[in-house]
Structure 1
Amino acid sequence: MSDTREHVLTGSRGAVRVRVWPRPRPRFLALLVHGYGEHAGRYEEVAGVLGGLGAAVYAPDHRGHGGSAGERAVIEDFEDVVADVHAVADLARAAHPGLPLVLLGHSMGGLIAARYAQRYGAELTALVLSGPVIGAWELPGRLLALDEIPDTPISPAALSRDPAVGAAYRADPLVWHGPMKRPTLEAFARTLRTVAEGGDVGRLPVLWLHGDDDRLVPLDGSRVGVERLTGGPDGGGELTERIYPGARHEVFLETDRAQVFADVTAFLRRVLPR
């Protein structure tokens, strides 16, 4: 999908760049929520899959990320980011009123998407979480206990078994390659607690995707948050789970991503109105 457009919105704390993959007469809207240190442009292939199903796709760069305003890799309050994502949803709905809305969040974007669903779940038709930072994620507490945050950026090898993915990530000038920053870690810790205490999303259909060799957001810790968000194994929630053997953190860029896209496609065909 090479036909993209850009909008710039006034966000909670500055300008927010929004990438749009348009589609004539779409049958639904898809909102992509990217992860920490990256940007919406890395989701071209995901947008293509969603567009093939009939979606007009919208994806903001969060504050401090990509082409949006703010100090690089600093998010002081994720509630502001949720509000920014909601403004993007309003933009999409204004262009295409009355269409179903699907929210897809990866990693940190999974945390944002989970909180969005707690606040605005009635506006959603489905929620897709990829390697979501919810539940028992120990990294913020471990780093915040140190006097100085170590300068250890994300290892590209942790993203995918495909070496081309790591090489592209390393060379991408819009990706943050420095250390995590204390305000962002503090915001992570607060929002993990907020989502844990924020209740479940009722009967909203949820698709959870995760690699079982994800070393950035370990599977077992994420499971705690996913089950809580969907009401637990016996809570009556609409959870579909797909765990990929050997896959690392970015399942949409993994060597078996054809299966991942097939699973997303099957889920959306099942839950979207005909």
Structure 2
Amino acid sequence: MAQSREWTYPGLRGQLVARTWSGSQTPTHLVVIAHGYGEHLGRYEAVADALVRNGAGVYAVDHLGHGKSEGERVLVEDFEDIVTDLHTLDEAARKEHPRLPVVLLGHSMGGLIASRYAQRYGDTLAALVLSSPVIGMWGAASALLAMEEIPDVPLDVTTLSRDPAVGERYAADPLVWHGPFKRTTVASMQRAVEAVNQGPGVGGLPLLWIHGEDDQLVPIEGTRSGIEHLRGGRYVERIYPGGRHELFNETNADEVIADVTEFIRTQLGAR
């Protein structure tokens, strides 16, 4: 297992909790992970361990209002601030490992953050991996904002993975947000999606898009338009039949992480 250490740094709107994973060997590259809505970096232990085994040093942060970080739970007023907080993490990683190439991996809401990050700082990245990203057209935002009151309905955990144990662990996790969406957050998420739609593509930055064919939380059809807008000449996609939202927790998770590590290895080798 990879060794990990937890540390903190000041974000724009509060103290943030980060984690670094490392192995016994000096890393050949770095991977920065942006987690999804309502969850936390602790759910990425297995992903980080696999990345470390493949030569990476791995960094992640609990976004503002998530996990162990400060802030009102799941309240995000402006996703540009979250992108800036992630850039601070990236700078800390580079300070510890100068001159190593950096890969950014974002899942779901973290895929939205990573997409906007690539638009702002793409020239500093070696590759971008987007897992079930909230980009393009996310109809849930409009539907939620049209409601007079957003209902306090628990997430259907069966939409996360075909493995029932994943949903059970999610439902029992005290660091996961189990309450309703907050209108301010949904509105700012919608603005961030539009910012990505109106922003530049990633040009020559290598991009891997992975998505489950049966993702009910972030339907693949809505995401595809965002990917088509972002993608440049070095683009790979992997669509998994039957896959639900959390591909790294799916029944074929080994296949998914193998595809990600192979993509990273190929792109770094081409540099």
Name the TM-score, length of structure 2 as normaliser. 0.97
Amino acid at match of 2:22: P
Amino acid at match of 1:270: T
Distance 1:152 1:206 in 2: 35
Post-superposition Cα deviations, 1:215-264, rounded to whole Å, max 9, x if no partner, equal 00000100110110115xxxxx2110000000100000000111111111
Distance 1:34 1:15 in 2: 17
The reply to whether residue 257 of structure 1 matches residue 253 of structure 2 is yes
The reply to whether residue 271 of structure 1 matches residue 260 of structure 2 is no
Amino acid at match of 1:99: L
8 Å CA contact 1:153, 1:180 repeated in 2 = no
Q: Which residues of 2 match residues 7-156 of structure 1 at below 5 A? A: 7-23=7-23, 24-156=25-157
Q: Which residues of 2 match residues 125-274 of structure 1 at below 5 A? A: 125-231=126-232, 237-273=233-269
Distance 2:154 2:106 in 1: 21
Distance 1:13 1:153 in 2: 28
1:2: how far off? 5.0
Amino acid at match of 1:257: A
1:97: how far off? 0.4
8 Å CA contact 2:204, 2:234 repeated in 1 = yes
Distance 1:161 1:252 in 2: 12
Distance 1:171 1:58 in 2: 25
- What SS class does the counterpart of residue 3 from structure 2 fall into? coil
Post-superposition Cα deviations, 1:44-70, rounded to whole Å, max 9, x if no partner, equal 111011101111100000000000000
- What SS class does the counterpart of residue 60 from structure 2 fall into? strand
8 Å CA contact 1:128, 1:207 repeated in 2 = yes
8 Å CA contact 2:6, 2:19 repeated in 1 = yes
1:172: how far off? 0.4
Distance 2:155 2:269 in 1: 39
1:6: how far off? 1.0
8 Å CA contact 2:2, 2:48 repeated in 1 = no
Distance 2:206 2:13 in 1: 31
Percent same amino acid at aligned positions? 57
Structure 1 range deviating more: 169-178 or 257-266: 257-266
Count of residue pairs brought into register by the alignment = 269
Distance 1:246 1:239 in 2: 23
**Aligned alpha-carbon RMSD (Å):** 1.0
Post-superposition Cα deviations, 1:187-208, rounded to whole Å, max 9, x if no partner, equal 0111011000011010100000
Distance 2:156 2:15 in 1: 29
Amino acid at match of 1:4: S
Distance 2:261 2:205 in 1: 17
- What SS class does the counterpart of residue 119 from structure 2 fall into? helix
Amino acid at match of 2:149: E
Amino acid at match of 1:240: V
